[in-house]
């Protein structure tokens, strides 16, 4: 039995996680071998208001005993973003050495993408993002606070080990996909130390994957190319910051950030990986019943697949395809359905597929 920690978090996090859990319940009704135990943790901004911390002092120790974490969002209008992000999400990512952030983006049939003349065949890309250091290492500090000569130093940290494991993961992923193509994204014309090390390590790793066609691209050129010719990319590997920015772009190319799932992976399995939609807390949507739950549901599929339930994950993705193709969509992707409408349709689609498999 897999033990799953559920952290709904802030903003629309609880709304979309609730839909993912409804889909999971529908899967379990028709698949008795899908045994999971769920525990919900009230971590997030309300916890901060009550206690002064985003999670309990022993939060990481408690979460470490689970097989996976399903996460909603973190962020609050009244609490600075750096406090909420570092107090919860990044505390888990770094505390559990979740080395890779995997962010696939696919334009589903029935979803209106932002690019004229581009359809589902043009947008199917995966961002492999280094997840524990780079520009988000946390290294740095302030001096002369509040004075005219105040200084803020933010230090990027790139290590050969982290770049190598990220590159190796990305090449192995590219090898498993039909196109067998990979693009490494840096800014080595301006970042003459960190990005140059990245380029050198990726080139070294590439020698172990002669069957993968690979190239290197500057991040600004890659962003332009994603808009002009998204089909020319398959797998992109990038640093923490570049991967973060580009995955928001690819999420938008798939119709909306509400469609974008992600996985934060602990590669050796010694601690749980964490699965979350990309969209964030989106406070402008809270309580209106219009939040797009697809990103959370696809994150659930990624989690199930990593836990060894490939058939269940396939049913979830099949249900998403079916619901999108039938136009049952929230407003962010051109529809008029509510969150509950999409949830009901997903549950019905999953249940129908489960019955077909069982019959």
Q: Find the catalytic residue in 66, 187, 234, 322.
A: 187
CA 282/CA 75 separation, integer angstroms: 8
pLDDT at site 32? 75
Active site residue 67: no
Q: How far apart are CA 185 and CA 207, in angstroms?
A: 18
Catalytic residue among 48, 136, 158, 275: 136
User: HSE of 113 in the Cβ direction (CA atoms, 13 Å)?
Assistant: 22
Strand 68-73 versus strand 181-186 pairing type: unpaired
The two three-digit tokens of residue 102, written as one number:
């995997």
Q: Which fold has domain 1-104+259-359?
A: Isopropylmalate Dehydrogenase (3.40.718)
Q: Can 248 be counted among the known catalytic residues? A: yes
H helices of the chain, in order, are: 13-30, 45-51, 59-63, 81-84, 90-95, 160-176, 194-206, 219-228, 240-253, 294-306, 310-325, 339-358
Nearest Cα residue to 109 out of 99, 97, 100, 118: 118
Domain boundaries, the chain: 1-104+259-359, 114-253
pLDDT, residue 357, reads: 43
| CA 122 to chain centroid | 20
Question: Tokens standing for 351?
Answer: 């249940």
Query: Phi then psi for 70, rounded to 5 degrees?
Result: -105, 120
CB burial readout 68-79, b (16+ within 10 A) else e:
bbbbbbbbbeeb
**114-253 classified as CATH 3.40.718.10:** yes
CA distance 118 to 252: 13
Yes or no: say if 214 and 182 are a contact pair by the CB < 8 Å rule. yes
> Among the options 39, 220, 229, 284, which is catalytic?
220
Domains 1-104+259-359 and 114-253 share a fold: yes
From 244, 306, 322, 332, active-site residue: 244
Give the pLDDT score at 356.
47
Q: Active-site residue 244, yes or no?
A: yes
Q: Please, which residues have CB within 8 angstroms of residue 354's CB and are 6 or more apart in sequence?
A: 26, 27, 29, 30, 31, 315
Can you say how many angstroms the Cα of residue 153 is from the centroid of all Cα atoms in its chain? 28
How far is 166 from 158, CA to CA, in rounded Å? Answer: 11
pLDDT on residue 354: 53
Contact 272, 66 (CB under 8 A): yes
Residue-by-residue pLDDT tens, the chain, 359 positions: 999 999 999 999 999 999 999 999 999 987 778 999 999 999 999 999 999 999 999 999 999 999 999 999 999 999 999 999 999 999 999 999 999 999 999 999 999 999 999 999 999 999 999 999 999 998 999 999 999 999 999 999 999 999 999 999 999 999 999 999 999 999 999 999 999 999 999 999 999 999 999 999 999 999 999 999 999 999 999 999 999 999 999 999 999 999 999 999 999 999 999 999 999 999 999 999 999 999 999 999 999 999 999 999 999 999 999 999 999 999 999 999 999 999 999 999 999 875 444 43
Active site residue 66: no
Q: Which of 234, 248, 306, 332 is catalytic?
A: 248
Residues 6+ apart with CB under 8 A from 11: 72, 73, 75, 76, 280, 281, 282, 283, 285, 286
Number of residues assigned to the chain: 359
């Amino acid at each position: 039995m897999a033990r799953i920690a559920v952290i709904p978090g802030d903003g629309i996090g609880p709304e979309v996680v609730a839909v993912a859990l409804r889909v999971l319940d529908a899967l379990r009704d028709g698949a008795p071998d899908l045994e999971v135990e769920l525990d919900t943790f009230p971590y997030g901004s309300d916890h901060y208001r009550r206690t002064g911390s985003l999670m309990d002092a022993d939060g990481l120790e408690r979460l470490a005993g689970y097989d996976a974490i399903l996460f909603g969002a973190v962020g609050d209008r009244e609490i600075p973003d750096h406090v909420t992000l570092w107090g919860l999400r990044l505390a888990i990512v770094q505390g559990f050495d979740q080395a890779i952030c995997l962010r696939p983006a696919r334009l589903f049939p029935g979803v209106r993408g932002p690019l004229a003349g581009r359809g589902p065949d043009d947008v199917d890309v995966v961002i492999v993002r280094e997840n524990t250091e780079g520009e988000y290492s946390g290294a740095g500090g302030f001096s002369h606070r509040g004075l005219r000569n105040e200084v803020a130093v933010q230090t990027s940290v790139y290590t050969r080990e982290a770049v190598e494991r990220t590159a190796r993961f990305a090449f192995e992923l590219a090898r498993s996909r039909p196109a067998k193509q990979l693009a490494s994204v840096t800014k080595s014309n301006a970042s003459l130390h960190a990005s140059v090390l990245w380029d050198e390590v990726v080139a070294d790793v590439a020698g172990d994957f002669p069957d993968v066609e690979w190239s290197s691209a500057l991040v600004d050129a890659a962003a332009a190319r994603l808009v002009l010719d998204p089909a020319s990319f398959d797998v992109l590997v990038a640093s923490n910051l570049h991967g973060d920015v580009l995955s928001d772009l690819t999420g938008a190319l798939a119709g909306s950030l509400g469609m974008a799932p992600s996985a934060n992976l602990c590669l050796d399995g010694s601690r749980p990986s964490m699965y979350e939609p990309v969209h964030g807390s989106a406070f402008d949507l809270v309580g209106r019943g219009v939040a797009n739950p697809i990103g959370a549901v696809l994150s659930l599929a990624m989690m199930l697949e990593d836990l060894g339930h490939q058939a269940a994950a396939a049913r979830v993705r099949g249900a998403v395809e079916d619901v999108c193709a039938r136009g049952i969509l929230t407003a962010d992707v051109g529809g008029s359905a509510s969150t509950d409408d999409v949830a009901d349709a997903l549950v019905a689609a999953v249940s129908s597929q489960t019955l077909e498999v069982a019959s």
